[in-house]
Structure 1
Amino acid sequence: MLDYFLIAFLILAGISLIIVEIIFVPGTTIVGILGFLVGVYGVYRSYELYGVDTGHIVLAVSMAAGLTAIILSFKSGAWNKFSNKSVMKTPVNEGLTSALEIGQEGKCISSLKPVGKAEFDNKEYEVSSLGPFVLENTAIKIIKLERNKIIVEPIN
């Protein structure tokens, strides 16, 4: 009788860990793999202790229970309280380059590798160079403005 409880516990624990992986910790795969292995071990024990016929039944019931549990966990919406529902209504960095123009000069606040910080008219911006490494405090000028991207080059 204890073996039945052990097998049921292993299979339910495996299904629970897989659901936790899918809903709460996606991307780590460790919890999901652990859940899969625990469930497989529970099914293996049923084959080992009770034979092939019972093992097939336990395997089929476990697969059906796992699939049902996953579907119900998504349909219930209980996991929605853990999700981020905020929405950004405006584009990021909108109007960032409106005060800048091609040929405008400034200086690097940080080194550009090829991205870094620069200052134009006492205002800080994130800028990119087209290639070479540019040291901090180097004089630069804007050579291209693409939407909200500022491309600069050092002034020689």
Structure 2
Amino acid sequence: MLLDWITVISLVGIGLLLIVVELIFVPGTTIVGILGFILTAIGIWVGYAALGTNTGHLILAATVLLGGLAFFYSFRSDSWARFALKEQNRGRVNEDYQHALAVGEEGKTVSALRPQGRALFANQHHEVQTEGEFLAPNTPIRIIRLSQHKIIVEAIS
């Protein structure tokens, strides 16, 4: 009888601990949370099987109460503040880079465009993209659109 109580308390305790670790330290549904849920369920099942229905109901109620308190405390405390992003990244890529290309300018691909890659215009390498088609290296291309920092090209037929 004592061994049954120790087994139930250990399984439920370790299961709830793993669920709290899942909530606080390992966000998302991972093996830790699933294992915690399984251990808790096994502990409750062992409580019903070994200690009887009435005691099983008490174990289930206590587990739900402890799980709810742990869930409430984990969101109520400032434990999430350590993981929260408090600053905004306002940096931009290639803000200072201004190309001197124009629509209709011709060049050739340096790498395969799938649909993005590198191309050569006026002896300068640029990052370009197609509108979805794949182009092989050394394919003659033409600029069809410039939008912000994107250079959209097409193959010259």
Q: Shared fold by TM > 0.5?
A: yes
* Kept in 2: contact 1:105–1:142 (CA 8 A): yes
Moved over 6 A (4+): none
TM-score, normalised via structure 1 length = 0.81
1:136 aligns with 2:137: yes
Q: CA deviation at 1:140?
A: 1.7
The whole-number CA distance in structure 2 between the counterparts of 1:109 and 1:16 is: 55
- 1:31 maps to 32
**Equivalent pairs: percent with the same residue?**
44
User: How has the CA–CA distance of structure 1 residues 28 and 104 changed in structure 2, closer, same or farther, with 3 Å as cutoff?
Assistant: farther
| Alignment map for 1:36-55 (pairs within 5 Å) | 36-55=37-56
- 1:64 maps to 65
- 2:7 maps to 6
Task: Calculate the aligned-residue CA RMSD, in Å.
Answer: 2.5
User: How has the CA–CA distance of structure 1 residues 32 and 108 changed in structure 2, closer, same or farther, with 3 Å as cutoff?
Assistant: same
Question: Which consecutive unaligned segments of at least 5 residues does structure 2 have?
Answer: none
User: How has the CA–CA distance of structure 1 residues 22 and 110 changed in structure 2, closer, same or farther, with 3 Å as cutoff?
Assistant: farther
Q: CA deviation at 1:34?
A: 1.3
User: How has the CA–CA distance of structure 1 residues 109 and 76 changed in structure 2, closer, same or farther, with 3 Å as cutoff?
Assistant: farther
The whole-number CA distance in structure 1 between the counterparts of 2:20 and 2:100 is: 51
The whole-number CA distance in structure 2 between the counterparts of 1:86 and 1:118 is: 37
TM-score, normalised via structure 2 length = 0.80
Aligned length: 155
* Kept in 1: contact 2:48–2:56 (CA 8 A): yes
Question: Which shifted more, 84-93 or 6-15?
Answer: 84-93
Question: Which consecutive unaligned segments of at least 5 residues does structure 1 have?
Answer: none
* Kept in 1: contact 2:139–2:155 (CA 8 A): yes
Q: Which amino acid aligns with 2:148?
A: R
Q: CA deviation at 1:56?
A: 0.8
